[in-house]
Amino acid sequence: MFRKNFVEYAILLLFKDRNDHLFSFLIFSFIVFILSSVLFISDSLQYDLIQSINAQPSIVVENTRAGRAYQMHEGHVYDASQITGVSSVEGVVDGYHYFAQKRLWFHIIGDASLAKDEMIIGQGVQKAMAELYYEDEFHFLTEERLIKVKINKIAPKGTNILSNDAIFLNPNTARAVLGMEMDEYSKLYVSVPNPNEVGNVALKIVEIYPSAKATTQEDAMSAVRHLYYYKGGIFMILYVIALVSFFILLKNQISLVYGEKKKEIAILRSLGFCIKDIIALKFIQNTVVSVSAYLLGVALAYVYVFVFNAPYLRNIFLGNELENSISLTPVVDLNLLFLIFLFGVIPFLAFVILPAWKIAISDMSEAVKS
Amino acid sequence: MSIFLSNEIIVFLLIELILIVLMAISQVNIVSIVRHWDFDATTPLQYALEKKNYLVNTILYFTLTCKVILFLFFIQSLNSLAGIVPGAMCSAGVVGANHYGNALLLLKLLLIFGFGLWLIVNKLDLASIIFPYLKRKYLLFTLLFVGVLGEFVLEILYFSNIPLTVPVFCCSVVFQAPKLPFGYTQTLLVLFFYTLFGVIVLFNTLKQTMASFTCNLLFLFIAYYAITYFFGLYVYEMPNHKCPYCMLQKEYYYIGYLIWGSLFLGIFFGIMPFLIERITQKSYVYLLKYSSICLAITALICSIYVVRYYLMTGVFL
């Protein structure tokens, strides 16, 4: 059935009739392009988030009161460090500062290596500040006073999605900005060297402080995955509807085109092609169309997402409250490509079977006569 | 949060649904073919039916190809679900998340075997001029269609019952040693594995289809347990890591696909000749040779891991 000459002939015939297939080719590559762009973006963001979680300590402990985040103090640090299996506990200052002029939230992170009056800011923060002419210095407005801090350095235009809206400050300055007392912490970073003990240590911390929330690395990762499954899933369901309507259109279009080609098929049949061969012929042609459209779509999506950084589309995932200047890390997962392939090419071919069969069995004597 | 929002599951269910629609179309045609088929008649109806036969064939070729691809995709989706199902480290936790999982996997495997059987019978049927096995072949198709419908229902049940808030067990809990069935020990299991393998090869060379059929079915279960509880340990190089799925992952160079793939192929070739003989009264024993080859590959890979471990460390696990 799949002799070399036969395949060659099928492809030659396809090029002769390329205008008939142009419609399905273009629309299908567009559909694949949209789908793969969205999946590439979400995969790349997920990858970045998970990389940054990997760099974090094993357990992050947060205190809550009445369901809201609440400060922690040295006592918490001491108690946590007494649990067997814990190698070190670090209290960190972390919170959000509202920048009212631009209606933005800056993520304040304490960094002990900085002096009291200097800070490192992310790309997005720099842009927002520069618009209001804060170029060397920034003034944090708090309830009590105005805090002046030198802008020391701008975080490199890294891939890290987290540093875009971040401001790194000396912990004490950060406390002043966030309105916290000295010796208060917003989170504890607990390091547990043995990964098998992480779950147990987290349970023990919650046992000591029932109102505390201990998030292990694994929990944090699954939270990220949940979020992206949710966003990607909603998109996917809408997409299925578009896809199905495209395939119904495709089926009608192919039947129409094949209907005009009845004479050609009848000549082939009278030359000795059997029904099976005609179906195979049409199948080979459509495989070529769909696979090449798939490749084109994926390649375009790659360029759009990782070279041009996916303008417009990435706001679905990032939001545009803070001008996002992050660049997407090019990660392409083979599993993802396989998924897109299955999603596009298999239904495409499935919807071609019926028209191909119908044209193959049509009455040839009548077709030649007309 | 619903599991049906996961990309893999949406894609998987959509394609399953399309295949079911295609199979339903052929099923409708099959009913009319079986009712009115008369090979000696020269009526237009008979010609139309013969043309319909082509449609059914094309659809089935397509479905089988897709089913095999989907089976691999299913395994891979389970792996990726392990990321969002709490507590699951690999597919074992996801499959064992409810009691539909294992039944679904077994049904999928049997259906692929069934499709393979149908293809071979179809080939024999088309090779002869008078379509001698047409009705039997379509009866088989109807059974397969019912199977596929059942599979779809089971899939929906399975996916909708995966808990996303309560932790499931990971593979080291699911496959704990004291839970070995029928009171096997590991040594006994390995002994069974090699004995049965030898017996199958013997029957295959003697072309005893019925004996080969029985032994192969038995071997499916023995090999499953032997690989999970004994050979797997050497693949993972850990004394308490018992899991049939982890070896499908990148960390173990995807060796699982080779081990399980050759095992299932071997068993498929081993059970087919007997079934074909039953259906068509024709001997089709040359497949038994492939059965021996495939099973030998499985046994060889498994043994290599054990030997390699012994050479490296000087002890057995």
Q: What SS3 class is residue A2?
A: coil
Is B19–A350 a contact, with Cβ atoms under 8 angstroms apart? yes
Angstrom distance (rounded) from CA A74 to CA A80: 10
Helices A217-260 and A18-55 pack at an angle, to 10 degrees, of 180
* Domain boundaries along the sequence of chain A: 4-52+223-361, 57-215
Distance between CA atoms of residues A10 and A260, nearest Å: 17
Per-residue pLDDT, A370: 64
Residues 6+ apart with CB under 8 A from A88: A81, A190, A191
Question: Would you call A339 and B7 a contact, using CB atoms and an 8 Å cutoff?
Answer: yes
List, for residues A202-212, the tens digit of each pLDDT value: 888 989 888 88
Q: Taking CB atoms and an 8 Å limit, are A342 and B15 in contact across chains? A: yes
Q: How many CB atoms lie within 10 A of CB B129?
A: 7
Is this structure's pTM higher than 0.90?
Answer: no
Question: Tell me: the pLDDT tens digits for B267-291?
Answer: 999 999 999 888 888 888 888 899 9
* Residue A349 confidence (pLDDT): 92
- Kindly tell me if the per-residue pLDDT of B247 is higher than 90: no
Partners of residue A221 in chain B, C-beta under 8 Å: 83
ipTM reported for the complex, 2 dp: 0.82
Interface of chain A against chain B, CB under 8 Å?
A: 39, 221-222, 225-226, 229-230, 232-234, 236-237, 240, 243, 275-276, 279, 283, 335, 338-339, 342-343, 346-347, 349-350, 353-354, 356-357, 360-361
Q: Are strands A166-169 and A104-110 parallel, antiparallel or unpaired?
A: parallel
Q: What's the rounded mean pLDDT across residues A35-64?
A: 86
Contact at CB, B14 and A39, closer than 8 angstroms? no
The alpha carbon of residue A316 is apart from the nearest alpha carbon of chain B, in Å, by 17
pLDDT at A65 over 60: yes
* A195-249 tens-digit pLDDT: 878 888 888 898 988 888 888 888 888 788 777 777 778 888 888 898 889 988 8
Asked if A339 and B8 come within 8 Å (Cβ–Cβ), the reply is yes
* A-interface mutation test, from B58, B81, B122, B172, most A Cβ less than 10 A away: B58
At A328 the three-state DSSP class reads coil
Q: In this model, does residue B19 exceed pLDDT 70?
A: yes
Biggest CA–CA distance in chain A, Å, is 96
Residue that has been written with the tokens 């395949």 in this structure = A7
Q: Please name the residue of chain A whose CA is at the shortest distance from the CA of residue B82.
A: A222
Paired with A96 in beta bridges are: A107
CB contact under 8 A, A346 and B18: yes
Convert the pLDDT of each residue in B137-163 to its tens digit. Answer: 899 999 999 999 999 999 999 988 888
Residues in chain A within 8 Å Cβ distance of B22: 350, 353
Nearest beta carbon to residue A275 from set B8, B51, B80: B51
**Nearest Cβ partner for B84 among A39, A226, A283:** A226
Instruction: Name chain A contacts of B11, Cβ cutoff 8 Å.
Output: 236, 339, 342-343
Q: A361 vs B69: CB contact, 8 Å cut-off?
A: no
Burial classification of residue B119, based on how many CB atoms lie within 10 Å of its CB (0-12 exposed, 13-18 middle, 19 or more buried): middle
- Nearest-by-CA chain B residue for A358: B55
Top residue of A2, A36, A222 to mutate, by most chain B CBs within 10 Å, is: A222
| More confident of the two residues A75 and B2 | A75
**Which residues in A lie closer than 8 A to residue B1 (C-beta atoms)?**
226, 229-230
- Each domain of chain B, given as residue ranges in start order, spans 3-170, 177-313
Query: pLDDT tens, B164-205?
Result: 777 777 766 666 655 666 666 778 888 889 999 999 999 988
Tokens (6 digits) for B98: 């409810």
Give me the total of CB pairs closer than 8 Å, taking one residue from chain A and one from chain B: 85
Q: How far apart are CA A214 and CA A79, in angstroms?
A: 14
Q: Which of A276, A347, A361 lies at the smallest CB-CB distance from B18?
A: A347
pLDDT at B149 (0 to 100): 95
> Is it the case that residue A342 has pLDDT exceeding 60?
yes
Decide if A36 contacts A21 (C-beta within 8 A).
no
Cβ neighbours of B18 in A, within 8 Å: 346-347, 350
